[in-house]
Amino acid sequence: MKKIKLAFRIVIDHSSEMIWDRYVFDDTYFEYKIQHQVFDDKENPVKNYWELLQKNPGAKQIPFLLSGAASNYVSQLGGVIRSLPDVLGSTFFPFANFKLDLISSHLEDSSKHKIGLTFFSSELLLIDIIDNKYLLSQEVNQDNGWETFMLPFHPQIAIAYYQKI
């Protein structure tokens, strides 16, 4: 058996349709425009994030600063991604924390704003893999006899931490 942490990543951009995604998009873009101006050179300004990063390495803080704009929305999820149920539809993808990465953005063109949100589970016990499904338990410190759930493989889920026990 192994202890693992799973990661689930979503990308949010101008074409995202879910209302939650739209709120995250709007608030992170608003915050991006503020932070872009903070890190930009007043004498020789640039418009997009990658140019800004080349001119001012301190701009690498921007994704962390945008996390604050997303954190209230993430807290609304209550620690679970409901769009990722287990095979019975009753246990959802549990997460303990998240990380925001800024894929691209532009000061004057919101259609170029794109972020990634990666949600990380707490430690889980990986008991087995059966028919492209993870057999998991949240009871990582028991020696035997676990409450389990099965989570199907998903293209946006990866094992982010692995420990052989």
- Which two three-digit tokens encode residue 142? 């028991």
Are residues 65 and 35 in contact, defined by beta-carbon separation less than 8 angstroms? yes
Structure confidence by residue, pLDDT tens digits, 48-99: 999 999 999 999 999 999 999 999 999 999 999 998 989 999 888 999 999 9
* pLDDT computed for residue 1 by the predictor: 87
Are residues 31 and 69 in contact, defined by beta-carbon separation less than 8 angstroms? yes
- The DSSP 8-state label assigned to residue 122 in this structure reads -
Q: What is the pTM of this model?
A: 0.92
Structure confidence by residue, pLDDT tens digits, 101-158: 999 999 999 999 999 999 999 999 999 999 999 999 999 988 888 999 999 999 999 9
φ, ψ for residue 104, nearest 5 deg? -165, 160
Burial of 132 (0-12, 13-18, 19+ CB in 10 A): exposed
φ, ψ for residue 35, nearest 5 deg? -70, -35
* pLDDT computed for residue 91 by the predictor: 80
* pLDDT computed for residue 141 by the predictor: 87
Rg (CA), the chain: 19
CA distances 126 to 72, 86, 142, 143, 161, Å, are 31, 14, 13, 13, 11
Residue 4 pLDDT greater than 90, yes or no: yes
